[in-house]
Amino acid sequence: MTKEIILIGRSNVGKSTLFRELTGKKVRIGKRPGITQHPFRAKVGEIFYVDMPGYGFMLNVSRAEQEKTKDSIVRYIEEHSGEIILAIQVIDAASFLDIADRWEARGEVPFEIELWEFMADQGLDVLLAANKMDRLARLDRDKALDLICERLGMLPPWSQWIDRVAPISAKRCQIEPLRAAILKRLGEKAREAPDI
Ligand SMILES: Nc1nc2c(ncn2[C@@H]2O[C@H](COP(=O)(O)OP(=O)(O)O)[C@@H](O)[C@H]2O)c(=O)[nH]1
Ligand SMILES: [Mg+2]
């Protein structure tokens, strides 16, 4: 059976940058977000890392096209739930709260929150990679992480959730908290089911 770790999140949050850090494999970064319509896979040891297409606002991409991307992500998760041993939801920690507020002001559930809940409902093991921490002033970081956790149904302080929430800066190659969380999960799984 193939085992997958998927990276999922809005366009431009830094998924591909993180993917490169985790796998050492080059994927196109930055330019023309939303153009990658297909999951990009790279094998590390026995595990496939999958860089999922981003969803959300994309320049020159129609609303209908965006809905199709979301549907395809949801379908991918449903169809691969047996292979996905871990999902990493990547957010831009510096803009997550503003975007969530904007959606809620319009009476909509922010897709990032919907997706987090959807993955939990699917029984997936999900980690939150709070990326772009470098864009937050040092003094604001704990507060921002507390508020983000609260929106995702995890009671603050965020430091209670250190096994699920990893503040990182993929661009600056500062992803140790995420590596540690991944290794811990994989270690636990190996003990639960020695074939993984
Ligand atoms: N400041 C900052 N920028 C980042 C970080 N990670 C990625 N970026 C930038 O965010 C943009 C989008 O990155 P990309 O990996 O293509 O995002 P994706 O659309 O989610 O795959 C690029 O300009 C990256 O250089 C980070 O940790 N900090
Ligand atoms: Mg990308």
Tens digit of each residue's pLDDT (9 = 90 or more) over 109-158: 888 998 899 999 999 999 999 999 999 999 999 999 999 999 999 999 99
Question: Which CATH superfamily hosts domain 3-191?
Answer: P-loop containing nucleotide triphosphate hydrolases (3.40.50.300)
Distance in Å, CA 66 to ligand 2 centroid: 15
What pTM was computed for the model? 0.92
Query: Which stretch of 3-7, 94-98, 166-170, 192-196 has the lowest confidence by average pLDDT?
Result: 192-196
**For 77-97, how does the pLDDT look when each residue is reduced to its tens digit (9 = 90+)?**
999 989 999 999 999 999 999
Q: Whose CA is nearest to atom 2 of ligand 1?
A: 132
Helix pair angle (96-105, 141-151), 10° resolution: 40
Whether 59 is in the pocket of ligand 1, judged by its Cβ within 6 Å, is no
% pLDDT > 70, the chain? 90
Domain boundaries, the chain: 3-191
Q: Whose CA is nearest to atom 13 of ligand 1?
A: 14
Whether 135 is in the pocket of ligand 1, judged by its Cβ within 6 Å, is yes
Q: Are 88 and 129 in contact (CB under 8 A)?
A: yes
- Among 109, 108, 112, 104, CA closest to 130: 112
CA–CA dist 86, 127 (Å, integer)? 8
Amino acid at 153: G
More confident residue, 190 or 98: 98
CA–CA dist 95, 130 (Å, integer)? 10
Q: How confident is the model at residue 185 (pLDDT cuts 50, 70, 90)?
A: very high
Ligand nearest 15 Cα, by number?
A: 1
